[in-house]
Amino acid sequence: MDTEQRTVTEEAAGDVLGIPVGDVRRLRKRELRENEGFVRDGRIKITESGLKKITGAIADEVPVADPVMPVMRSIRVDGTCPNPRILMGHFVDDGETVKVRVRVRDARNFVRGMTIESCRMVQSTLYSYEGRLPRLKGRWM
């Protein structure tokens, strides 16, 4: 299996395809095989080829556009918000600093200056991080 293969979680696949996560799970179980459409890496992650197979499977049932892999960025943390699931951060694009919000499961151990890898773009100024959280304040372990 290609280690550089791009993947998305089932929740992200539902956002990309515009269908509920339950339908994505049902279609994954029916249409895909492990390592030939999805991988297990702590969570189930669907590959680009898996997204195309799921799109083909639901083309008759629901009108769906061609899946486009979401933009992934590394974001530097600027601080936390009163909402414990939102971080403020920024990234540099063509020499210009872009300030964004990042959804996380729990912002408690993130501190200013940390870099979060593989954040998925949800809206123009909203990103989502679905990976492992820091175990200690300011430290990835």
* Whether residue 76 sits in one domain with residue 124: yes
Region 116-136: mean pLDDT is 90
90 in any annotated domain? yes
Domain that holds residue 29: 7-58
Instruction: Kindly indicate the confidence band of residue 5, based on its pLDDT and cuts at 50, 70 and 90.
Output: confident
pLDDT for residue 62: 57
64 in any annotated domain? no
Indicate the average pLDDT of the chain: 85
82 in any annotated domain? yes
> What digits encode the pLDDT tens for the residues 104-113?
999 999 999 9
113 in any annotated domain? yes
Q: Which residues of 7-46 are buried (b: 16+ CB within 10 A; e: fewer)?
A: bbbbebbbbbbebeeebbeebbeeebeeeebbbeeeebbb
**Closest CA relative to residue 53, chosen from 42, 37, 69, 29:** 37
Instruction: Kindly indicate the confidence band of residue 13, based on its pLDDT and cuts at 50, 70 and 90.
Output: confident
Instruction: Kindly indicate the confidence band of residue 67, based on its pLDDT and cuts at 50, 70 and 90.
Output: low
> What is the reported pTM?
0.57
Whole-number Å distance between alpha carbons of 40 and 43:
6
Whole-number Å distance between alpha carbons of 94 and 85:
29
Domain count, the chain: 2
Region 17-22: mean pLDDT is 84
* Whether residue 34 sits in one domain with residue 76: no
